[in-house]
Structure 1
């Protein structure tokens, strides 16, 4: 009987040793844009897995995809309040208009310039870190997607004269609407969850904020054209509530940080190839992909900068705009 007790105790100890530690901390990770299986959804799953593996299960991560916790504005509220711990998100500018730096039109004009600006140590990256810190949010880095364009139904426009009869949906992010308006379009601010029906019923003629992935994946049945006007280099941001960050041990912080750097670096490696993949998919689905010439893009960029950058100075501050002017692509 004594030996039996020893064997049972030994087996129990071995089982405890072989089983990952029970979670001591649970973190909520959310996005405002991207269902499960989307590129951003996959990146969240990857971040969560790396954290759980790196902490040997001490930190559990619950993942919430697009619309599961509310609208774009509501989920950002939860992050700032600490009810959501981490996000890959595309922030609205209601909390701080300096976040409009993310949406500065024609700040960079090529993939190479974008990567240099947004990667850790890059001039845009440095600006964003300070802005997020003021909101009580830790900024790990960008989650880059690519250049956006104007997706439309029925017709597309290459000049302000052609654009004036098209009403294009934009999100509530300064200066998204202002940039599209400067290209000559009418605009309407519509929440992401209502965009398909708005295009379908003719409330708007298209979408003017997104890379081609989103317009192909969600709206290809109601869109005919994607015009690669490149007014913004679109990137999500990888963030964490500062209080949630400080609640982790140093070892756990290192795991969370390193995992964030991994998904950021993977996004940089994959973004250009992924974008081309969806250009090809959109063409196969019957969408017409329009690519303005370098001369046409430079003309658009010059005009939009002249219209929008002075507005931005009053919102984001002269110092930030001076940095942008000093580092932005030459036209």
Structure 2
């Protein structure tokens, strides 16, 4: 074959390779959540993240959004995420792949919003630990999407003491150490998927929900609950993350866009969460839900009891090294 023809062929091959590479960098991906309908704070955050990604990549990455229950229940959607059938998530992750994710649900680790920001804000002491845990299960951790401190929402009655808690059975998610925390607080527990919680409260299978900030209990259960007791056993935060295989396939420029957009969403979350939470306290009161907020001194003996009972379990299941970091940084009760 003449040299000119060879050069032409090589040039054509080079052009094809460049076209193929450019094409490989254009994609349509899925962004999903396990909790949050369109119009919810989570839904709004996902829409902002998607918009920033599409704008920043000039449309090379198109993002399809899937809200709560559109791709399945809490465990199903996390399975899809780990398998790279979903590429981005703002979710409340299951501990089924790695119990160290339970670090997110450490009871009475934080006491105030300032504690939470120091732990989860950019460069926070918890973020480095969670980044390593996520990496080990093939995911890329970007940061927290904060909601606030949780409590116990019940119908008929609420508990002011460990003794009164013993007569109440409450729903908790299927994540360690959610059930263990409430049991140490004196409650009976039932691990129930989020999608089944309303029916479980309505039919009396449980007396209430004991995992969420007031937003969720107001939005989904306000017709069935009478009380919201802000027991503050956990600071509830979603996680902003990406599938690791998807992440590895992005160009450096695309990675920067996705990560920077995630940081914007996280910061927006911290800026807005306290106001949103306070607003839902007022909404709950307006519809007749009695709101109870125990003082720090009321919570201190409960917090110490829960720590004494649950943290040693976490040493065994999450790891002594991680829990030593928690002990070194946790709030004082």
Question: TM over 0.5: same fold?
Answer: yes
Distance 2:53 2:227 in 1: 41
Does residue 253 (structure 1) correspond to residue 251 (structure 2)? The answer is no
Alignment match of 1:282 (pick from 278, 281, 284): 284
Distance 1:221 1:300 in 2: 29
Alignment match of 2:114 (pick from 92, 112, 115): 112
Alignment match of 1:163 (pick from 148, 165, 186): 165
Alignment correspondent of 1:312: 314
Does residue 154 (structure 1) correspond to residue 156 (structure 2)? The answer is yes
Alignment correspondent of 2:74: 72
Alignment match of 1:325 (pick from 324, 327, 332): 327
Alignment correspondent of 1:298: 300
Deviation, structure 1 residue 62: 0.4
Alignment correspondent of 2:137: 135
Distance 1:242 1:122 in 2: 22
Alignment match of 1:217 (pick from 211, 216, 219): 219
Distance 2:57 2:120 in 1: 29
Distance 2:101 2:253 in 1: 30
Alignment correspondent of 2:54: 52
Deviation sequence 1:232-274 (CA, Å, 0-9, x none): 0000000101110121111111111111010000001011111
Alignment correspondent of 1:193: 195
Alignment correspondent of 2:179: 177
Find the residue that maps to 2:103 and give its secondary structure.
helix
Q: Which runs of 5+ in 1 are unaligned?
A: 1-20
Alignment correspondent of 1:228: 230
Distance 2:286 2:239 in 1: 31
TM (norm. structure 1) is 0.92
Distance 1:253 1:26 in 2: 15
Find the residue that maps to 2:63 and give its secondary structure.
strand
Distance 2:322 2:116 in 1: 17
Distance 1:122 1:309 in 2: 21
Distance 1:320 1:242 in 2: 23
Distance 2:295 2:88 in 1: 40
Are the equivalent residues in 2 in contact too, given 1:165–1:185 (CA < 8 A)?
Answer: yes
Are the equivalent residues in 2 in contact too, given 1:120–1:126 (CA < 8 A)?
Answer: no
Distance 2:242 2:213 in 1: 25
Distance 2:94 2:245 in 1: 21
Deviation, structure 1 residue 84: 0.5
Distance 2:173 2:274 in 1: 24
Q: Which runs of 5+ in 2 are unaligned?
A: 1-22
Distance 2:284 2:84 in 1: 39
Find the residue that maps to 1:158 and give its secondary structure.
coil
Deviation, structure 1 residue 110: 0.6
TM (norm. structure 2) is 0.92
